[in-house]
Structure 1
């Protein structure tokens, strides 16, 4: 918990909420801080992709892609859909899409 003297006018519940939000933001940033996971998420901004499509787009082995997808599922950043033997991944929510669009604008756009 934060030092109460740092925020003397903040109610205990507000401080607890701030700490929980900071933890959630930190966990999200840790999850996207890996280059491979970030590349997967960037590809998913444009829509759902199968594992095979992601392997091709990333020029990576299935085991490496699956490992990163597993972490993204664990962090609830992606969801899956099965069609026969194929598994398709998509971003779990609009929050992730908005953040990734900002990252794209910051680092990938030509200004």
Structure 2
């Protein structure tokens, strides 16, 4: 008698738990989260523009971007002396979309309670 092969839904999570934890750790920093949100919203963005958007000094911004680049979450393109950043990992856009939906729904629910 053959054993049935039932797929364990937790097996995929267990296989990628360390990778998922690292990605969530990178998103747990408020400044990095904001950087990624701006990159998702605007596509490719220069370092100077990112500094304006998130209100970070150039050295602090460079440190955050280096961490994101090391983990493969962002990629760069050089045009002369200007460096453009973009989101390189599609999982980032998916996770940020989920966060947006959660907080948008929460805000809409709060507004509905106030109106009623």
Common fold by TM > 0.5: yes
Match of 1:48 among 44, 47, 65: 44
Structure 1 position 30 matched with structure 2 position 5:
no
Moved over 3 A (4+): 17-20
Higher helix share: 2
Structure 1 position 60 matched with structure 2 position 67:
no
TM-superposed deviation, 1:60: 1.4
Cα RMSD over matched residues? 2.2
The CA deviation string for residues 10-38 of structure 1, in whole angstroms up to 9 with x for no partner, is 89xx95x6433111110100111111100
Greater gyration radius: 2
Question: 1:100 and 1:69 mapped to 2: Cα distance?
Answer: 17
Give the match for residue 5 of structure 1. none
Structure 2 unpaired stretches of 5+: 1-5, 109-116
Structure 1 position 71 matched with structure 2 position 82:
no
Could you state the TM-score of these two structures normalised by the residue count of structure 2? Answer: 0.76
Go from structure 1 to structure 2 and tell me whether the alpha carbon gap of 1:108 and 1:60 turns closer, same or farther (over 3 Å shift). Answer: farther
Superposed, which structure 2 residues align to 1:89-104 within 5 Å?
Answer: 89-104=85-100
Question: 1:108 and 1:10 mapped to 2: Cα distance?
Answer: 34
Question: 1:87 and 1:107 mapped to 2: Cα distance?
Answer: 32
TM-superposed deviation, 1:107: 2.6
How many residue pairs end up in the alignment? Answer: 100
| More moved, 47-56 vs 93-102 | 93-102
